[in-house]
Structure 1
Amino acid sequence: MRNTLLITLLLAVNTIIYSQNQLSGTIKNTDSQESIISANVYLPQLEKGTISDFNGAFTLKNIPDGTYKLIVSSVGFATLNLEISVPSEEINIKLKPSAIEMEEVIVSTPFHQLQSENVMKVERKSISELNKKGAVNLSDGITQIAGVESLTTGVGIGKPVIRGLSSNRVLVYTQGVRLENQQYGDEHGLGISSKGIGSVEVIKGPASLLYGSDAIGGVLYLNPESYANSGKTNAALESDYFSNTLGYQTSLMAKTSGEKLKFLARGSYASHSDYEDGNETRVTNTRFNEKDVKAGIGFQDKNYKADLRYNFNRSEIGIPEEIGVQSKDKEPLLPFQKIDNHVLSLDNRFYFQNSSLDFKLGYQYNNRKEFEEHHHEEEETEEEHSEEEEEASGEPALEMHLETINYNLKYNLPKFGNFETIVGVQGMYQTNTNFGEEILIPDAETFDFGIFATTHYHLENWDFQGGLRFDNRTLESIAYQAENDDVVEGIDRSFNSFNAALGAKYQFDQKFIARLNLASGFRAPNLSELTSNGDHNGANRYEIGNSDLENEQNFQVDLALEWRNKHFEAYINAFNNHVSNYIFISPTAEIIEEEPVFRYEQANANLYGGEIGIHIHPHPLDWLHLESSFETVTGKLSEGGYLPLIPANSITNTLRIEFEGSNTFSEKYSFIRLKNVFDQNNPGQFETETKGYGLLGAGLGGTIQFKEFSLELSASGNNLLNKKYFSHLSRLKPDGIFNIGRNLMLSASFSI
């Protein structure tokens, strides 16, 4: 089936040659009339762009007839958004100097707007920006975004938490397709390397209108790195060192682009020892290794664009249980996971007169193996562990193969007055097959189908956006025998849901923006919640599913206010999220296999809170940046008690300095950051309260330019005071295991 699908994807890349349109122009400084070099020129509807040359001139070829948004941006200037018609005469563009940071186009929402023009508030950060602040991996890096935290098992396993919701309630998109890799499990990480990811976008709140089931809490949208500009060839060698885990990661990239064809390839490797906590004690078996390969082939003509991407990721991750052998070895001990994840995607775009058709196909193959410990003697050495690991390496206790086919067809209708409208269908076919002796979830098939329509209405100061969607999910599983010899009957269930979203944005004088969004979302119960019956090793409990569970259905109200000028920015985000039939796990008085028994139940829940932030860059000290953000979320069950895994309130203060660059040494910066996490005095059932803590971080860096070569250097440190602390979202906290201590990161990137 895999070979047939690959052939189908490749055949879909058909090309038709059309007559060419060319868009040319010049970009200058409004005040000085000087040409602006290396300004970004981008047509978001075509996903086509270039940069201006030394004379401020630019040229874009193979442009279809029609009317398009043209976005022009450059560091130190206000981003300009204008409408152009093609064919067009040469255009002259002038940018106004500004201290406000350059805006980016948001990809995760349907109309590819600038952030300031988007009806739905979306957080966007470049991966390079997150890495410069000392992120060990992708799940660690996203915690720097207000409202986003990570549910961790050591440093190798992390899952995004958006405003208190995680696992199957947060949908992850990569290469334009939804990531499916058994993400229901607390001890399952993202399975994606940050190398080869260009930026991350976060939708905080229900996004079922755009993405269907599982986007009830939000979306983490990972944008792959872009191809080289037309006629250019680039290569880069990146390397990072982490003092705490004695870890390193190396990545090599090469890409080249012609007028129509583009190629990209990247290979990465990372390896980490057990992390050291604030007591200078290594947490046994938190070591992990990762191999990652990414490749892409792009084609673009006047009326057709294709992007074929492939990502292979192999992760070997230790599963920590207790503090034991102290070692700097990097090979995982038993128990550990070995996970192979393949993602193949093809994005086809067909451009017509003032409309377009977008057809995405995706195929994923996830092979998850878990190797468990046999009965060890208490005094067993690490060498004996390693010998037993070798003996067991060919016989995993658990092996699951998850295969997923995704499709997403969207038609962008011709613009009608001030209305832009998109209609589409999305779906998924998925199979889960067991090969090991242990079964966490049964062999099963999943069918998803969704149909939706969304429209955007633009006025001078107002923008409105709304839409409707219908989804159906069918789950069929095969009966199996559980560890306690019970027979778990197969299920054949169908879940349906209608959802809607409505939002409004008001903008006054390019300074004040107010957004109000109302949205519903849903999540069908997953196979684990419906059919599990067995010992859950990572959680030290015996879990029993409930085949009668219904959809989770939520409704969220989100209000976002922003004020910005040349020297000051501030925002306030507030939300209230009501979830009907919230699924949670509850203990019984039973004991099976010497473990306490937990069963899945449902009740209504409510989450509320928000984020507040300011950014000051005073004139004439435009190089000085003072940033502060506060985030809070509270989650309660309607029947009483608090929800589990709700992050504690926190405030982050950052002082950042951007030094003036020269032709040789540019993009110089330094920062110092203090994150204060408050006490979590509202623990969920089976949780305990968690004391607050403060973490100090700092860093500096810059770029050295050698004509066609550049060397980017950075150094950063987290938890510089080596604090002993527990994160409320650490799954190692119940075992009395502290989080990571002081960690210094040194990075170098050499590119041509």
Structure 2
Amino acid sequence: MKPFLLYCFCFFISLNAIAQKVMVKGLVTSQNEPVENITIKILGSNGSTKSNVSGTYQLNGIPSGNYDLIFSGIGYQSKRIKVTLKGDTTLVNADLLSLASDLGDVVITGVNRATQLRKSPVPIAVLSKKSMDQNVNTNLIEAIIKGVPGITAVTTGPNVSKPFIRGLGYNRVLTLYDGLRQEGQQWGDEHGIEVDEYGITRAEVVKGPASLTYGSDALAGVINMIPYSPNFEDGKLKGDFTANYQSNNGMIGSSIGLAYIKNDWKYTFRATGKTAHNYQNKIDGLVYGTAFREYNLSASARVDKAWGFSKTAITYYDNLMEIPDGSRDSLSRRFTRQVLDDGDDIKNRPIVPESDLNTYSINPLHQHIQHYRFYNTSQFKFGTSDLNLLIGGQQSVRREYNHPTLSSQAGLYVVLNTFNYDLKYNLPDFAGIESTIGVNGMYQGNRSKAATDFPIPDYDLFDIGAFYFAKKSMGKIDVSGGIRIDRRNIHWRDFYVGTDAKTGFGKQVSSTDATGKLQFPSFDKNYYGLSGSLGLTYNISEKLLIKANIARGYRAPNITEIGSNGLDPGAHIVYLGNRTFKPEFNLQEDIGIIAYLKDAEISMELFNNNIQNYIYQSRLTDANGNPVVIVPGNLTYQYQQSKARLYGAEISVNLHPSAMKWLSFNNSLAYVVGLNQNQELLNKNGREAKYLPFIPPLQVRTEIKTTAQKAIGIFDKPYIKVDAAFFADQDKFYALDDTETFTPGYTLINGGIGSTLKTKKGKTLCDIFLQADNIFNVAYQSNLNRLKYFEYYNPSANGRSGIYNMGRNLSFKVIIPI
């Protein structure tokens, strides 16, 4: 009997132990700061959760006993802690180490959910604000160009840079602001990206087709410009004041940003102003028509809760920018300006007085570009899954004043309204597979107002696409890919242009107006796209990996390619579109090798890109080979479509000897070849038609930088650097009808010093940057500079043709914390 009673007693004790449930909770930190989105998993069980915005976590109903807790998250080294769970509650805190190398950097662009760079097979580059601050930048895109190999820009003066990725640009590069599509008539050459450069804290660049996530217009890649998000103690108001002066064009920039955190709410505000007179070089002197004045305002509010977060933001961009046309006196080569509408002779205009070349006043012939943006981005958490919603509205107002006899009359006046929507659901992990389904697109309407020139019709566009994306880690291999389908509808009604009896200029009229002419017959068409990608990353070791990716991209023709039929005053080009164009599709293969060694970081990326139905511009000539002139003083371009191929490489070798921590030696090379595969054109014209337009030449950038490892007085770790940018001859250009010409190579030497200034008690006073671009004042022309082709004399009096790029430019920048 006694053994039986003892057995029963033990049995009931065991049942009681089994029934005992424990709650596990704690705080996850890194460098004494709370860390959110860290996964806490109990090894050997299904129990898991994630840390919230305060770094805390909680697991309920865990049987008592001995366990291993695994803490893991993107950008941090995983940590295992052995614990014994007993009683009602067990407290387990974890302090994680961040991954030191860039391979541990976290990206959000083109991958649907936060992902380490090492796990993405798609080539992605990240540029920090610190890197951008340490260069002389005339605009935000210029900053990205200097920091990311393979990125270039077509420019029209210092304030206009249209980004190109691996030789492809315009509507093939999708620019995002905080994840929202930037819609501001990207087809135009003569205006830039409507974003405040001082308000961007980080840029992420996807090199290659990103149509899977974003649909049309991401054929070449994506540039996501991410604004500042505060992360400091509760109840504090912090900010910064930036002042910047550049000597070449007298650019004066200032910006103030403020941020405040209270309980679960984060608020930001920024105001920026920039103004500059004409830029200069030693060939042209001051280049008339390149002054600008820019203003930016932005504000946001974000709330973080256990259920997720919601952020609402608003931005305003206002830019007054002159319109250069390159007209000159034939003998002195001094710039001239238009003073007549009727009877204007571009070769007999009055010379611009010196006082008008060096003024901050904006001349009557200018552009006025305004951009309004309002959006909300939210995330709703459901255990191990989450729903992400982004909705936004934008308005782009673009006016070009090109009538000297009636300067208040806009030649071009268009208003583009866009509504964007983006819904993504990150599904719960299943069998180690992270997957996302989503739908996104936009509705867009473009309307001409009181204008005199109409290069494109009023149109409406509706875009929708759905996708599925998945990724899985299998030991040393990370695999990801997905598929997407898109539909875009573009339509417009008959558009008539007549004559204003009072001014003699053109105006939009009804079909019953006696002066009316049908400039844009009605149009309605659907474009469909199927895109997808498949890639893998093989982690040979923690510091060495190989990436491979194949992707199919899609781009519907933009409005100017199918609908244009008139003068764009700012570009000084008459564009002629083609209503029969088909969508572009490309198939791109990428392979990359990346090594993060003790004393060096080495990467090599190779790509091959085949495009069907590639659309490009070409000068229009008559049967005798002479340029067709529809509007006097303006070139005429007609869009073409053919097969194309682009291939090339980007190589980076960055040395940072561990024995000399004060020294870094960074080097990069970028090379791309663009081939026109229009066989009919090649058979007729040979080498003149062999290459694609706007392809950058071989580029090599090298930088040597020394940084003090200790403070020197009030200077905290000051640095000094010298860099060189080498551009080879571009003899692989689209020469048919003199669309492009040979561009000789050149080398630019740049330098800079900078430091953080601190008090003896360690309080930061400011950051200062003294920098110089083109130290030796080299006279050069980039083959991507549109002003190179602003020439009306052949030959010219001094043997030079077109306008040259900016000469020496000294910059002083100071950032003062508030």
Does TM, scored on the shorter chain, surpass 0.5? yes
The equivalent position to 2:137 in structure 1, one of 135, 142, 159, is 135
Could you tell me which residue of structure 1 aligns to residue 261 of structure 2? Answer: 257
The equivalent position to 2:710 in structure 1, one of 661, 673, 678, is 661
Residue 695, structure 1, aligned to residue 695, structure 2: no
Distance 2:310 2:612 in 1: 41
Could you tell me which residue of structure 2 aligns to residue 730 of structure 1? Answer: 785
Distance 1:271 1:96 in 2: 41
Deviation, 1:127, is: 2.8
SS for the counterpart of 2:209 is coil
Distance 1:21 1:239 in 2: 50
Identify if the C-alpha distance between structure 1 residues 504 and 97 changes in structure 2 by more than 3 Å, giving closer, same or farther.
Answer: closer
Identify if the C-alpha distance between structure 1 residues 239 and 21 changes in structure 2 by more than 3 Å, giving closer, same or farther.
Answer: farther
The equivalent position to 2:554 in structure 1, one of 522, 541, 544, is 522
**Contact 2:490–2:525 (Cα < 8 Å) also in 1:** yes
* 1:507-546 correspondence to structure 2 within 5 Å: 507-546=539-578
Identify if the C-alpha distance between structure 1 residues 420 and 279 changes in structure 2 by more than 3 Å, giving closer, same or farther.
Answer: same
TM-score (norm 2): 0.80
Identify if the C-alpha distance between structure 1 residues 274 and 21 changes in structure 2 by more than 3 Å, giving closer, same or farther.
Answer: farther
**Contact 1:422–1:455 (Cα < 8 Å) also in 2:** yes
Could you tell me which residue of structure 1 aligns to residue 125 of structure 2? Answer: 123
**Contact 1:238–1:749 (Cα < 8 Å) also in 2:** yes
* 1:644-723 correspondence to structure 2 within 5 Å: 644-662=693-711, 664-684=714-734, 685=736, 686-706=739-759, 707-723=762-778
Deviation, 1:64, is: 8.2
Deviation, 1:569, is: 1.2
Distance 1:240 1:64 in 2: 48
String of CA shifts for 1:434-480, please: whole Å, max 9, x gaps.
10232121111100000000000112210000100000000011222
Q: Which amino acid aligns with 2:257?
A: M
Identify if the C-alpha distance between structure 1 residues 449 and 270 changes in structure 2 by more than 3 Å, giving closer, same or farther.
Answer: same
Could you tell me which residue of structure 1 aligns to residue 651 of structure 2? Answer: 612
Residue 188, structure 1, aligned to residue 191, structure 2: yes
**Contact 1:358–1:410 (Cα < 8 Å) also in 2:** yes
Distance 1:657 1:42 in 2: 35
SS for the counterpart of 1:592 is coil
Residue 353, structure 1, aligned to residue 383, structure 2: yes
* 1:272-671 correspondence to structure 2 within 5 Å: 272-279=276-283, 281-322=285-326, 323-324=335-336, 325=352, 326=354, 327-374=357-404, 392-393=407-408, 395-435=409-449, 436-481=451-496, 485-586=517-618, 587-589=620-622, 590-594=628-632, 595=634, 597-639=636-678, 640=682, 641-662=690-711, 664-671=714-721
Identify if the C-alpha distance between structure 1 residues 336 and 179 changes in structure 2 by more than 3 Å, giving closer, same or farther.
Answer: same
Which stretch of structure 1 is more off in the superposition, 136-145 or 663-672? Answer: 663-672
Identify if the C-alpha distance between structure 1 residues 468 and 101 changes in structure 2 by more than 3 Å, giving closer, same or farther.
Answer: closer
Distance 1:306 1:413 in 2: 20
Identify if the C-alpha distance between structure 1 residues 69 and 360 changes in structure 2 by more than 3 Å, giving closer, same or farther.
Answer: farther
Distance 2:666 2:207 in 1: 21
Deviation, 1:417, is: 2.2
Deviation, 1:643, is: 0.4
* 1:103-122 correspondence to structure 2 within 5 Å: 103-108=104-109, 109-122=111-124
Distance 1:143 1:407 in 2: 29
**Contact 1:42–1:72 (Cα < 8 Å) also in 2:** no
**Contact 1:64–1:302 (Cα < 8 Å) also in 2:** no
Q: Which amino acid aligns with 1:276?
A: Q
Deviation, 1:568, is: 1.1
Distance 1:276 1:23 in 2: 61
Could you tell me which residue of structure 1 aligns to residue 811 of structure 2? Answer: 745
Identify if the C-alpha distance between structure 1 residues 83 and 608 changes in structure 2 by more than 3 Å, giving closer, same or farther.
Answer: farther
TM-score (norm 1): 0.87
Quote the RMSD (CA, aligned, Å). Answer: 2.6
Which stretch of structure 1 is more off in the superposition, 582-591 or 633-642? Answer: 582-591
Distance 2:416 2:531 in 1: 28
Which stretch of structure 1 is more off in the superposition, 495-504 or 579-588? Answer: 579-588
Deviation, 1:618, is: 1.1
Identify if the C-alpha distance between structure 1 residues 251 and 416 changes in structure 2 by more than 3 Å, giving closer, same or farther.
Answer: same
Q: Which amino acid aligns with 1:679?
A: D
Identify if the C-alpha distance between structure 1 residues 401 and 596 changes in structure 2 by more than 3 Å, giving closer, same or farther.
Answer: closer
Distance 2:91 2:585 in 1: 52
Deviation, 1:711, is: 0.8
Deviation, 1:142, is: 1.3
**Identity of paired residues, percent?**
28
Distance 1:64 1:489 in 2: 64
Which stretch of structure 1 is more off in the superposition, 544-553 or 328-337? Answer: 328-337
**Contact 1:43–1:68 (Cα < 8 Å) also in 2:** no
Deviation, 1:139, is: 1.8
String of CA shifts for 1:496-549, please: whole Å, max 9, x gaps.
011110000001221211110100111111111111111233444422211111
Deviation, 1:628, is: 0.7
SS for the counterpart of 1:140 is helix
Identify if the C-alpha distance between structure 1 residues 233 and 21 changes in structure 2 by more than 3 Å, giving closer, same or farther.
Answer: farther
SS for the counterpart of 1:732 is helix
Could you tell me which residue of structure 2 aligns to residue 5 of structure 1? Answer: none
Q: State which structure, 1 or 2, has the greater radius of gyration over its C-alpha atoms.
A: 2
**Contact 2:29–2:35 (Cα < 8 Å) also in 1:** no
Q: Which amino acid aligns with 1:341?
A: H
SS for the counterpart of 2:649 is strand
Count how many residue pairs are aligned between Structure 1 and Structure 2: 690
**Contact 2:400–2:413 (Cα < 8 Å) also in 1:** yes
**Contact 1:450–1:471 (Cα < 8 Å) also in 2:** yes
Distance 2:782 2:106 in 1: 34
Q: Which amino acid aligns with 1:519?
A: A
Which stretch of structure 1 is more off in the superposition, 554-563 or 437-446? Answer: 437-446
**Contact 1:367–1:402 (Cα < 8 Å) also in 2:** yes
Deviation, 1:296, is: 0.5
SS for the counterpart of 2:694 is coil
SS for the counterpart of 2:285 is coil
Distance 1:648 1:269 in 2: 34
Identify if the C-alpha distance between structure 1 residues 314 and 64 changes in structure 2 by more than 3 Å, giving closer, same or farther.
Answer: farther
**Contact 2:120–2:536 (Cα < 8 Å) also in 1:** no
Distance 2:135 2:778 in 1: 18
The unaligned stretches of length 5 or more in structure 1 are: 1-19, 28-35, 47-57, 74-78, 376-390
Identify if the C-alpha distance between structure 1 residues 540 and 42 changes in structure 2 by more than 3 Å, giving closer, same or farther.
Answer: same
Which stretch of structure 1 is more off in the superposition, 275-284 or 259-268? Answer: 275-284
SS for the counterpart of 2:164 is strand
Distance 1:228 1:476 in 2: 46
String of CA shifts for 1:333-390, please: whole Å, max 9, x gaps.
2421101101111001100110000011011011111111336xxxxxxxxxxxxxxx
Which stretch of structure 1 is more off in the superposition, 604-613 or 531-540? Answer: 531-540
Q: Which amino acid aligns with 1:643?
A: L
Which stretch of structure 1 is more off in the superposition, 596-605 or 263-272? Answer: 596-605
Could you tell me which residue of structure 2 aligns to residue 6 of structure 1? Answer: none
**Contact 2:151–2:165 (Cα < 8 Å) also in 1:** yes
Distance 1:319 1:550 in 2: 33
Could you tell me which residue of structure 1 aligns to residue 510 of structure 2? Answer: none
